[in-house]
Amino acid sequence: MQSFGLPIILLVVFYFLLIAPQRKKEKKIREMRAALKEGDQVVTIGGIMGKIISVKEDIVTVEVGSDRVKLKFAKWAIGSVIEKDE
């Protein structure tokens, strides 16, 4: 019976140290992407910074640069939203 206890304890520790924090982080990212709206300043996972001008289902149109170039991205390509205070 004792030989089964150690692997179970290791699995529980592994879950709380690695899996649970990763799930929490993924949930936060999903919520951020679901809350995207026009006017948000964003950074893509490729490092492109711009302002959202349109959100349609899974496609986000971002305006970048002084020439106001419009680029379309999948929602999953948005890495973060820049807060107004920054």
Contact call for residues 36 and 27 (beta carbons, < 8 A): no
**Higher pLDDT pick, 63 / 17:** 63
CA atoms within 13 A on the CB side of 64: 14
Give the pLDDT confidence of 14-44 residue by residue, as tens digits: 888 989 899 999 999 999 999 999 999 999 9
Domain boundaries, given as residue ranges, for the chain: 1-35, 36-86
Give the pLDDT mean for 42-64: 97
The single-letter code of the amino acid at 28 is K
CA 57 to chain centre: 16
Q: Tell me the pTM.
A: 0.74
Residues in CB range of 32: below 8 A, 6 or more apart:
78, 80, 81
- Which CATH number does the domain 36-86 belong to among 2.40.50, 2.30.30, 3.80.10, 2.60.40? 2.30.30
CA pair distance 74, 86, nearest whole angstrom: 25
